[in-house]
A and B are shown apart, each in its own frame.
Chain A
Amino acid sequence: MSIVLVPLVAAAVFLLADSSPPPPVDQVVLLPNADGSTGKLIVRSSAGEQVLATPYASAQSTHRGELQTSVADAASVSARYGQALGAQPSRPVSFTLYFVSGSADQLTPASSATLEQIKASLSQRAVPEILVIGHTDRVGKLEANDSLSVQRAESVKKLLLAAGIAAGSMEVSGRGEREPLVPTADEIAEERNRRVEINIR
């Protein structure tokens, strides 16, 4: 009798275990930003919501949607995510060019040196892409500043090409007065806001 029962029980246990495998678990880990600050993640599942806001704060979910939180560390993140993090592209960088007063094509001496930094940054990237971004101060209307900022960016694109700077793609855009370096009230002339940014990604 027991000779028959033992394999039956074993088979039943095997079948039960097989029909309910360990539930899949999804996980997110908030990392400290490169500049040392930490952002925020809002984690939602069918069963609830958790906000992660401290370095290495982590949330796990089961396929039933339950959320648990814990704190990971650099070593466990590197063990599980090392290859994903290792494949991370180079961080985009920005350089700013300023013009000699009243000129649309003559750079300040400091900005001429920046051109060399731009070349060096491009040479370190496998597939560099450039976004030339014009900015204005807040004198004039939004629409007028949009087109002025594009004109500035276009003239810098020509200047970059003339300096032998090339990339897989060079796109031009104008942020107008939306992103002042020095915040001012409307209609305030501010030299430091009349600039062109070279974003390399």
Chain B
Amino acid sequence: MKRKTTFLNACALLTFSLVWQSSSLAADAATAAGTIKTSRGTAQIERQGAKLPADVGSAVNVNDRIITGADGAVGITLRDNTLLSAGPNSTLDLNKFAFNTTTHAGELNASVKRGTLAVVSGKIAKTSPENVSFNTPTISLGVRGTEFVIDAGKGVE
């Protein structure tokens, strides 16, 4: 009897985890924040512990980390038309992104842990500039509709 219960529990757990996995995949598709448009050299997306190649056409999601090697560079267009491009030896975390295409309300926060990032701000920065920010290990940046570059050097961990 007890063995049977354990077996049933295991089945329930397996079903649950399968359902959970497929629903989290669906959520990923729905929450894509942007798309990789340019990619050169060694470039990866770190997502929930997995490392994926940062190929042109790949989706970029909230909580993704973008890592480039010594020969790497990656360009991303977010759904609100923000352009992010990381140079070599860079680590970029997309911490927050939300964008409503009707109202243009939303938020964007990204951290440059090390290396370089060029930014052209998008529609969220026009409508809700107070909701757009970038960080380095020592600086936090408020953005008022503009283009700029960030250098976090070798970073501090």
* Interface residues, chain A, with chain B CB atoms under 8 Å away: 24-34, 38-46, 52, 59, 61-63, 65, 67, 77, 80-92, 125-127, 129, 131, 133, 146, 168, 171, 173-176, 178, 199, 201
CB pair A26–B86 under 8 Å, yes or no, is: no
Q: Mark B122-157, 1 if CB is under 8 A from A, else 0.
A: 000000000000001111111111111111111110
A83-B88, A85-B118, A87-B38 known; A26-B149 Cβ under 8 A: no
CB-defined contacts of A29 to chain B, threshold 8 Å: 148-149, 151
A45-B138, A87-B75 known; A126-B57 Cβ under 8 A: yes
CB pair A89–B77 under 8 Å, yes or no, is: yes
CB-defined contacts of B120 to chain A, threshold 8 Å: 34, 88, 91
B37 at the interface (CB under 8 A from A): yes
CB pair B102–A28 under 8 Å, yes or no, is: no
CB pair B136–A86 under 8 Å, yes or no, is: no
Distance (whole angstroms) from the CB of A120 to the closest CB of chain B? 18
A41-B143, A84-B85, A91-B120 known; A61-B138 Cβ under 8 A: yes
CB pair B77–A201 under 8 Å, yes or no, is: yes
Size category of the binding interface on chain B: 35 or more
Which residue in A28, A32, A86 is a CB contact (below 8 Å) of B141?
A28
CB-defined contacts of A146 to chain B, threshold 8 Å: 102
CB-defined contacts of B40 to chain A, threshold 8 Å: 87
B6 at the interface (CB under 8 A from A): no
B149 and chain A: residue at smallest CB distance: A81
* Interface residues, chain B, with chain A CB atoms under 8 Å away: 35-40, 56-57, 73-77, 81, 83, 85-88, 90, 101-104, 116-118, 120-121, 136-156
A146 and chain B: residue at smallest CB distance: B102
Distance (whole angstroms) from the CB of A64 to the closest CB of chain B? 8
CB pair B139–A44 under 8 Å, yes or no, is: yes
CB-defined contacts of A82 to chain B, threshold 8 Å: 87
CB pair B37–A126 under 8 Å, yes or no, is: yes
Which residue in A28, A30, A90, A173 is a CB contact (below 8 Å) of B151?
A28
Contacts A46-B138, A87-B87, A88-B75 supplied; 14 other A-B pairs, CB < 8 Å: A26-B138, A26-B139, A29-B148, A31-B146, A39-B143, A43-B139, A61-B136, A84-B116, A85-B149, A88-B85, A127-B56, A133-B101, A176-B102, A201-B77
Distance (whole angstroms) from the CB of B138 to the closest CB of chain A? 4
A134 and chain B: residue at smallest CB distance: B102
CB-defined contacts of A133 to chain B, threshold 8 Å: 101
